[in-house]
Amino acid sequence: SLLRSIPHVGSGQKERLQPIRGVVPDPYSKIKGCPFHPRCNQAMRGLCDVKVPGLSTVGKSHTVRCFLHSDVVEEETYDL
């Protein structure tokens, strides 16, 4: 969702971006779990709202912090 919501170099001006649902959280409030879980349509209750995912490599030079792209959930996560 996040990647589809930003413009890409070389894309036409008429390309529609996908909006991210919800409200941007207060930058001063502490969100438990993944900071994107309140706005993520694939968030997993009991996981994303409790733990922060570790870094996972996707492709040659791209890393993400997302349980959907993690092979080992428990070893790569940490509690807040």
**pTM for this predicted structure:** 0.59
- Where are the domains positioned within the chain? 34-80
Residues 50, 32 contacting (CB under 8 angstroms) = yes
Work out the pLDDT band at 2, boundaries 50, 70, 90: low
Give the pLDDT of residue 50. Answer: 94
Tens digit of each residue's pLDDT (9 = 90 or more) over 38-61: 888 889 999 999 999 988 888 788
Q: How far apart are CA 75 and CA 3, in angstroms?
A: 26
pLDDT reading at 18 higher than 70? no
Instruction: Scan for tokens 């879980």, then name that residue.
Output: 37
